[in-house]
Structure 1
Amino acid sequence: MTVITDSIEQTVDQVLTRLSGDIVLAIPLGIGKPNHFVNALYRRIKTTPTRRLKIITALSLLKPASNSELEQRFLTPFVERVFGDYPDLDYALDMLAGTLPPNIEVLEFFFKTGDYLGNPTAQQQHICTNYTFVARDMALHGVNLVAQALAMREGPDGMRLSLSGNPDLTGETVERLRALPDHPLLVVGVVNRELPFMPNGAEIDADFFDLLLTDPSAGHALYAPPNMEVSLRDYAIGLHASTLVKDGGTLQIGIGSLGDAIAYGLLLREQHNDEYRRMLGTLGASQDGELGRFASGLYGCSEMFVNGLLKLLDAGIIRREVFDDLTLQRLLNQGRISSTVDATTLAVLHEAGRISSPLTAADVTFLRRHGIVRPEVVWRDGTLMVGERHYSAELDLIAPELLGPRLTGGIALHAGFFLGPRDFYQRLRTLPDEQLHRIGMSRIDFINLLCGPDSLASAQRRDARFMNTTMMVTLLGAAVSDGLDSGQVVSGVGGQFNFVSMGHDLPGARSVLLLRATREQDGILRSNIVWNYGHTTIPRHLRDVVVTEYGVADLRGQTDAEVIKRLLAVADSRFQDELLIAAKLNGKLDKDYHLPDWQRHNLPERLVDGLGPWREAGLLPSFPFGTDFNEDELAMIAALQKLRHASHHPVELLTMMFRGLFEGKTAPPGYLERLGLQEVHGIRQLLLRRLFVGNL
């Protein structure tokens, strides 16, 4: 029986009473965590040294903060406005500070990028595993408490519950744990009324939970990362990648500016096709790619449901629906039936062996579920009935008025979890039911696995393009996405390996790794295409497509020498010579090979010249999907970013200081007041104010 409680502390009491020994708590990644409940449990055990707690999770999200006093003053009003009453997780704060108590452990399988570099506790307790293995690994650790935040709807039929943006692991984890003989397990659901209610696979019965906490104070604002600025080089990557997406196919993209750049590139392809083609021309992109508008539309199948996918759904680009029946899906793929229902639909289903003649009760249930017959049609004693009227169940005698107009129950977008800015959540809360039911939040063992070439997932994901970001690529095609050669973990493997593998396993599919050609580290410009690296996320035998701002490198099935040549062609030209020398010294490239002259102009200036005019014309905005920053904040951010950059370049910083001292520029008083620089005391504050104002 599910026990409903209306107090956070009483729920913690119940947990501590029912689980008398050590507690091993599993909580979802991202926004599926019931933060207030977790904090209450953590504090209770923190002050009870005789009890032990192990927390297994990922993406323990904290509100933005900065080590710089100036930047923190800027951030504070923004965080209060955007993150509202979102409560930081106490265990994450303690882990970041290195002050976890000895009776509490935190194990994470995916970090927010870069947050725990150099943190011994977090690094030592990281679980390196594929997303699809997490439920298995949680069972190995003996999880006996599962807690999840829930969305709730109340209506005439009573209370309905949804796992909302996190059906990814909970169902599989609980199934595995309940299958263990004599294993104690407590499942706690915590209602958070801020969560969007998601139907389909995310909806769940109340009796799934042992304890259901409905206390309104257990809810809170959702973690809402603001949209990131999309630079011109990100747009270049997104535009190149968009030419790989096949109409009628399947799309997966991730979060961040590169995901936004791909989504916006696809919107340009659909809505401004002439300009889209000209942009690609300025980048020197091949005109042989997929450049046309979307006559059939795309199906979205992504580990993470991000804002860019929602924009594509709203624009009607993501609209190809898939169905949860293998035969039906195959017939749609083959073009033997369409979404429009008629007598031919029944005949083809019968020919394929999916339904009988006369129809059985199971046949009618199947046909009704997919809208092939109307919802009021029922099977009774070998005949079809609508109300009290009888109809023949023989296929060639089916009355036309029993047929539905079109297939129903299709899903245009499947995903395992979601995370996005405030307007993303608000859009989900207000989507009309018809459109909301076309989104299928689902388990990760469905999203990230195929289960064989004859599986339903395989039939749905035709012509798939799985697009993921990577940090570095070696010249032989291995990818570095989650960690450093020191062993330090930047983020985690997540589902990247699964999607790369699917890109090879599925007919017509491709794995596409997105890579910025360079990065600046400690004030030094470095190439992200390297000869070799002491850590690998994706081995080189799974190399496929790599996209940088300078083009597309198709590596599939190529020799090592050809892979090197193709990656050199999309590398930054300032690093091509040293990469070329390394390949020759190691005997992987002929000593007389020379890079063609047309490949030696891969420089940022080329991107500015090619895409700059389109930005000025408003077709490549800095924030294509809006931003939570206001205009004043954007101006301040630009100045603060210049200051941060200069702090790693002494000559640049000195130049700024001299210019700031002698130029008479001023700033709006509100800017200085926000940064605590309206009245300055001492030379340091004076210099900071002058530097800030000088960079506005």
Structure 2
Amino acid sequence: MSEHNKPTYYTDVTKVVDHIIEAFDKKIAFGMPIALGKSYQIANEIYRRAKSDPTIELTIITALSLEKPTWSNDLERRMLQPLRERVWKGIPDFDYMLDLRKGALPPNVKMKEFYYKAGSVKNDPMAQQNHYSSNYTHVGRDIMNEDCNVLYCHAVAKKEIDGKVCYSDSCNADLSLDIKKFIPEAKAAGKKFLHVGHVNNSLPFMYGDAVVGEDDYDIILDNPEYETPLFSVPKAPVTTADHMIGLHVSSLVQDGGSLQIGIGSLGDAIASALIMRNTANADYKKVLEDLGINEKYGTLVDHIGGRDTFDEGLYGTTEMLVDAFIELYKGGVIKRKVYGNIEIQRLVNEGVLTETLTRDSVKALLSQESFQPILKKGDFEGLQHYGVFKEGLTWDDYAIVDGDTRYSTDLRDGANLDAILDNCIGESLTNGVIAHGGFFIGPNQFYDTLRNMSDDERKLFEMTGVAVLNQLYGDEKLRTLQRRKARFVNAGMIVSVVGNIASDALENGTVISGVGGQYNFVSMAHAIDDARLIMMIRAVKETANGPKSNVVFNYGYTTVPRHLKDIVVTEYGIADLRGKVDHEVVAALINVADSRFQDELLEKAKKAKKLPPDYEIPAEYRNNYPEVIAKRLQPFRAMGKKYFDVFPFGCEFTKEELVLGRSLREFKSKMDKQKIKTVMGLAKQMLTAVPAEAQPYLKRMQLDHPGDFKEKVTRKLVAFALKESGQI
């Protein structure tokens, strides 16, 4: 809020909030990062104060406030309560979210969010009315544009480095850099600002721009009693459709390139396919051949992708560092190092400079114009940071000093340059990074992996601001060099046959999630010459009224406009749309639609004169059915190598929970679609004995020894669901 050298430290959250309320005269814009980096204690205490004092004006500005699963009936409780106690043990609730769900936020409290868990607020009027759609790179600006005093509060990790106390933004470096950039302007405009850090050493200490000193904060809350476990997001099952999308995407990724993917089953499907390509290449090539991917898309794969192993590897550049990147790292795919120096990165890209330094490669580096004719102090220190010059050397008055020996930094002198090359260069490049991320969230095993890494290994995964990750502006040359052959892979909900994509809302304006960084990656894919945008669309979705196509003729909402079209991938194939005219775009998208809807799309396209009257869908694209792709994958699933597994990287659920979850979902679906038939089958089950095979599942549901009549009926229902789904 004012110039300071040291923050005010507190061990009591009530004192923190006292400080905030007094400083801001009861008018507070309370900014928190997306997802994991929120402080439960500060958020709940400041909300409690506002709830009890209507003179406090509180605006909560954030995204993705994490919520533990809840239940609406006894059957759901039996399924979810043990999970809550196991997976989310010790994690508090956000009181403002509990009240939001009940429609009980007080009138002096407002919430503004730029991103929601997909589908979580479809029927919430307050959330729908207070969503602001903003590119991720503009969120920091928008928070600072609030017309009242601003508080930015987030959880941090703490560590002593070289005798100095340091803090890491850890899971949320995404907005911190952006917000700090706007602080001087805000203060000049007369706004008050507080930067508050809450120490939670459950967070892994991440490096890069995430690391700051204590003078970065106005307030630090540090009390081990307030440390909480990290919120786990369990793995979602990867469906056959997801695996097919991931397989197609994996063939479009080029060795030596860069990769961005997101969280969820589609990200896991891509990672699984890329690992298969790298570690079981013969099987990978066979699946591409057997599924017809080579025949249909071989030319495109040869041009922008590949089928061989990742010898050079990929570099991860992503706003969200998901656990799939860790799996790719373990699988030898994510390993290409990038460096924060333009000249080093350029020569690495050209193959002149490798990780192992030689006299000739360093000579080539030092011959670059930016280092000529005399090596300056900043350049020397930058090169030393990346290992070009040995540790222990110093720069003094245009000389490299090694003990009592001095080497002039005048590189025009051949003999002097030879002396530097003979005596001063290091053995290998250092401080390379294999992945940059802005924020992270994932399952518990992901957090454990990060925490258990050595500092040197964790430094390979640097955290930085979203304005760095999601755009080129500010350091275009370096970022373009680092992100060579980038594949920005994003998901959409619906694609129209002319190439418009809806990703974050329905055509009536109902917000499903948020645009986040998607548009940023779309723009970058078109700005970098050798980059490509890959939009993933599940071709069909199941509804209570039956299957529905996600490839449509038109749609009343657009996230990615058609003039920024590139590649669209569904479970049925790849549509390369870049540079194509309308009839080619329409034909390519109908080719990757589900065949149950192709004729209707074809008819509408012809009627709109987007296709010639005599156009016919090629025969090879006329067999796009779920059962067909499932059958084609089955031989590979039967190999016993966990290919195309529902959980390729494991999960936090027990075997019984997985079976119960699948069975109960299928039961609910049948009730929606065939209610009378399902009820009759359930009534019949009531008259038969419960099979012995159901006992492990009934025990998990606390129904192995039913007490009252209600429990006995519920027991029969569960047994029926298991039987109907073929599990017993």
Partner of 2:293, secondary structure, is: coil
Task: Report the CA distance shift for 1:392/1:69 in structure 2 as closer, same or farther (over 3 A).
Answer: same
Confirm or deny: 8 A CA contact 1:232 1:612 kept in the other structure.
no
For the residues of structure 1 that align with 2:328 and 2:634, how far apart are their CA atoms?
25
- What residue ranges of structure 1 are gaps of 5+ in the alignment? none
- Contact 2:536–2:569, Cα closer than 8 Å, also in 1: yes
Alignment-derived partner of residue 359 in structure 2: 343
The corresponding residue for 2:583 is: 561
Distance 1:115 1:156, change over 3 A: same
Determine if contact 1:298/1:317 at 8 Å carries over to the other structure. yes
1:39-87 CA distance string (max 9 Å, x none): 1111111100111100110011101223343122211111111111111
- Structure 1 residue 680, shift from structure 2 partner: 4.5
CA drift of 1:362 comes to 2.9
> What is the CA distance between 1:388 and its match in structure 2?
3.0
Q: Which residue of 2 aligns with 1:616?
A: 638
**Candidates 136, 139, 144, aligned match of 2:144:** 139
SS state at 1:126 partner: coil
Which residue of 698, 711, 724 corresponds with 1:672? 698
Secondary structure at the aligned position of 1:261 is classed as helix
Alignment partner for residue 660 of structure 1, among 661, 677, 685? 685
**What residue in structure 1 maps to residue 649 of structure 2?**
625
Task: Determine the structure 2 residue equivalent to 1:57.
Answer: 62
395-404 or 633-642, which deviates more: 395-404
Is it true that 1:295 corresponds to 2:307 in the alignment? no
Aligned with residue 531 of structure 1, among 526, 542, 553: 553
Quickly say closer, same or farther: Cα 1:656–1:131, change in 2 above 3 A: farther
Can you list the C-alpha shifts for 1:330-364, whole angstroms capped at 9, x where unaligned?
A: 22222232222222233223332132355433332
Partner of 1:410: 432
CA positional deviation for 1:461? 0.7
Q: Which shifted more, 570-579 or 312-321? A: 312-321
Q: Tell me how far apart the structure 2 counterparts of residues 604 and 281 of structure 1 sit (CA, whole Å).
A: 19
Q: Distance in 1 between matches of 2:643 and 2:137?
A: 39
Q: Which residue of 2 aligns with 1:371?
A: 387
Alignment correspondent of 2:458: 436
Q: Cα distance 1:195–1:454, how it changes in 2: closer, same or farther (>3 A)?
A: closer
Offset, 1:495:
0.5
Structure 1 position 155, deviation (Å) = 6.3
- Corresponding position of 1:160: 166
Per the TM alignment, residue 689 of structure 1 is displaced from its structure 2 partner at its CA by 4.2
By how many angstroms is 1:328 displaced?
Answer: 2.0
Alignment match, 1:549:
571
Distance in 1 (CA, whole Å) between partners of 2:684 and 2:637 is 29
Q: Deviations over 1:236-263 (max 9, x none)?
A: 1100100000000010000000000000
Report the Cα distance in structure 2 between the residues aligned to 1:679 and 1:650, rounded to whole angstroms.
30
- Report deviation, 1:227: 0.9
1:425 aligned partner: 447
Residue 670 (structure 1) shift = 5.5
Q: How many residues align?
A: 696
Aligned to 1:640: 664
User: Which of 559, 580, 583 is the aligned partner of 2:602?
Assistant: 580
Counterpart of 2:278 (choices 270, 275, 279) is: 270
Which residue of 1 is the match for residue 525 of structure 2?
A: 503
* 1:112 maps to amino acid: K
For residues 344 and 686 of structure 1, the distance between their equivalents in structure 2, rounded to whole angstroms, comes to 75
Preserved CA contact (<8 Å) 1:552 1:570: yes
What is the SS of the residue equivalent to 2:171? coil
Query: CA separation in 1, counterparts of 2:608 and 2:182?
Result: 49
Judging changes above 3 Å, is the alpha-carbon distance between structure 1 residues 120 and 242 closer, same or farther for their aligned structure 2 residues?
same
Distance in 1 of aligned mates of 2:701 and 2:96? 30
The Cα shift of 1:597 comes to 1.7
Give the AA of the match of 1:694: K
Contact 2:36 2:441 in 1 (8 A): yes
Aligned equivalents of 2:526 and 2:397: distance in 1? Answer: 49
1:318 to 304, 319, 334: 334
Return the alpha-carbon distance in structure 2 between the equivalents of residues 557 and 659 of structure 1. Answer: 60
Distance 2:23 2:291 in 1: 63
Which shifted more, 561-570 or 636-645? 636-645
- Aligned residue for 1:575, secondary structure, equals helix
What corresponds to 1:199 in structure 2? 207
Q: Does the aligned pair in 2 maintain the 1:377–1:384 contact within 8 Å?
A: yes
Is the aligned partner of 1:185 residue 2:193? yes
For the 8 Å contact 1:346–1:395, the answer to whether it is kept is: no
Aligned mate of 1:248, from 240, 256, 260 = 256
Taking structure 1 as the reference length, the TM-score comes to: 0.96
Say what the alpha-carbon RMSD is for the aligned residues.
Answer: 1.9
**Residue equivalent to 2:3:** none
In the alignment, is the contact (CA less than 8 A) between 2:664 and 2:718 conserved in 1?
no
State the secondary structure of the residue aligned to 1:345: helix
Residue 422 of structure 1: how far off its partner (Å): 0.2
Please list, as runs of the form range in 1=range in 2, the aligned pairs for 1:385-400 lying within 5 A after superposition: 385-393=401-409, 394-400=416-422
Bigger drift between 624-633 and 140-149 goes to: 140-149
TM-score (norm 2): 0.92
- Alpha-carbon displacement from aligned partner over 1:16-41 (angstroms, at most 9, x marks no partner): 12221311111000101011111111
